A and B are shown apart, each in its own frame.
Chain A
Amino acid sequence: MKPGKKVLEKTQELLCENLTKVYSGSSGRRALDSVNLRIPSRGIFSLIGMNGAGKTTLVRILATQLESTSGRASINGIDVAKEAKVLRERIACVPQEARTVPWMTPKQTVLSYLMWRGIAYGDAKAKATEALARVGLGEQENTLTRRISGGMKRKVLVATVLASDADIIFLDEPTTGLDPISRKELWKFLVGLARDRFLILTTHYLEEAEQLATTIGVMHMGRMVGLGSLDELRSSVKHQYSVMVAAGSELPKVSGGSATRGDSGETQILTDEEEAYSVSRQLLEKGAKFSISKTSLDDIFFYLVNRSDQEAKVS
């Protein structure tokens, strides 16, 4: 959004209504299946899910890169299909698998991106230098990107959208391939970025969503199987303790909680504190491999995905 420009927001929310995407061609794959959501457009909205869950498809539709097959979506009341031109003034995106151009330096990369967005050379130059300094690449700004590390390359891409005047930012798996230290550095930076902008990011790392997200969307097989803050998702699971039992182990009887067997054979027992410890004792006596913890996002994810699979099998 340009400084000083007044925008009358109709709503301050991200809305999807029956959003569906079926890819054309022989596969006819249903990548999104009637996705419905309504969340406030602030902070960080993190989409989690396995490969092929539909995260990237959803992001690409919201970022006006891909047409949906049916349904509608809007951000702050701006329809992503019908008012794409208006929305594009407000958004910036770093796609999954985006790469820096090897024959350009970080400064040239950010500068040229800003100039495509219509920012004048002088302003763009100052913004590029500032953004690169903010992501810790001030010293490398004039080094060819082919000579910097993978983590630095990701930071260059994040710097491009940071330097832009966009207030809605899409980051598709921004930390994939980064070492743990670079990932945590980028997290800090993203939290800062989200103070005055709305970030929509996808990730495979549940810990990342747990640490960063204001709202989490759990996607599975093209459907939104869970949505809310971490606390809301936690409360959607009745029991607050999780015992994860390795495949092939003999399971004890569970009376108060629920046991769910995943595709790879491991079993998740969600139950209350008392039964969790009793089950653990029994497993210990049988020499079974297991872990016990308070319900984490991993457990919630496992529970929601398996519940969704079981519902699909029943229907």
Chain B
Amino acid sequence: MLVNSIYEMKNYPVVLLNTVLSPLSFLLLIYFVSGGKLIGDAIEGGFIMSMFNSGMSLQGDLAHLKNDFKLQDMVVSSPTAPAAYVTGMALAEIIYSVPALAVLTVLAAVYLHPGTIQALELLGVFLLMFLTSIAIGYTLSTFSSDIVQSFAFSRLISTLFSTLPPVYYPITLIPLPYRYVAYLSPTTYAAEISQHLLSPKSPSFLPLSTPEVALAWGVLFGTTAVLALIAVKKARWREV
């Protein structure tokens, strides 16, 4: 599965341009609107969006390969286990995101200067975001019977979880009654941890106490575990 994405990028290089532009366009927008003050939040948001959207792209790609190419049927009738299939496809999605992640890493090194521990914690946050979206993407793809419906779901979930919530900007910019709605999205907790680690100088920084940081990690781990469990139990490998 991994080699499929490499072949696609090799044979259609324009794919690379698309994967770079998507997260960076929001980053530029936030940078210009805030006069450069929210560059840190925007870089962290770019990472979270890249990782989350990788998983959501998986949903569209899996559904496309399943419904239009009948590839999943070919894989089901082979020794390949569902876990290997999803892992391969998930890694393929990461391959697509590598150009964007490379640009974001350079920007992070220039503007945020994370230490080793901070970098590792961020890596953990981004990985959990990726796993969460992979679990959602895989489960939904196995139920999908139509590619248009699948891409519509993929875009909707991406918007609800990575564009609308305070991923690219601090949560304090949301008026208080609506702020609680933002906490329904796991990406909000991911952004809070990232901003807590790297953006204390951000003009709208909301300081977190240690229990609040622990709660945010707990929510991220819990959400990932629950969604992974749903994927294992409910996703349809052999159709019913």
Contact = CB atoms under 8 A, between A and B. Distances in A.
A91 B69 CA distance: 19
Nearest to B85: A116
Contacts of A64: 76-77, 238
A162 interface: no
B70 to A, nearest CB: 4
A112 B3 contact: yes
Interface stretch (A103-111, A208-216, A233-241): A103-111
Nearest to B81: A85
Given A65-B77, A88-B78, A104 B7 contact: yes
Contacts of A98: 69-71, 73-74
B79 A118 contact: yes
Contacts of B77: 63-65, 88, 91-93, 170
A96 B85 CA distance: 21
Determine the interface band of chain A, counting residues with CB < 8 A from chain B: 35 or more
Contacts of A166: 78
Contact of B74 (A89, A93, A108, A118): A93
Given A65-B239, A66-B239, A116-B1, A103 B79 contact: no
B7 A92 contact: no
A60 interface: yes
B74 A113 contact: yes
A135 interface: no
Nearest to A90: B79
Contact of B3 (A67, A108, A160): A108
A92 B70 contact: no
A87 to B, nearest CB: 9
Interface in B9-47: 11-12
Given A67-B240, A95-B73, A116 B78 contact: yes
Contacts of A67: 238-240
A314 B94 CA distance: 61
Nearest to A165: B79
Contacts of B7: 103-105, 108, 112
Contacts of B84: 116
Contacts of A263: none
Given A92-B78, A95-B70, 10 more contacts: A60-B239, A88-B76, A88-B80, A92-B74, A94-B74, A103-B8, A104-B11, A112-B3, A117-B78, A117-B80
Interface of A: 24, 60, 63-67, 84, 88-89, 91-101, 103-105, 108, 111-113, 115-118, 144, 160, 164, 166, 170
6 contacts: A64-B76, A93-B74, A99-B70, A103-B8, A108-B7, A116-B75
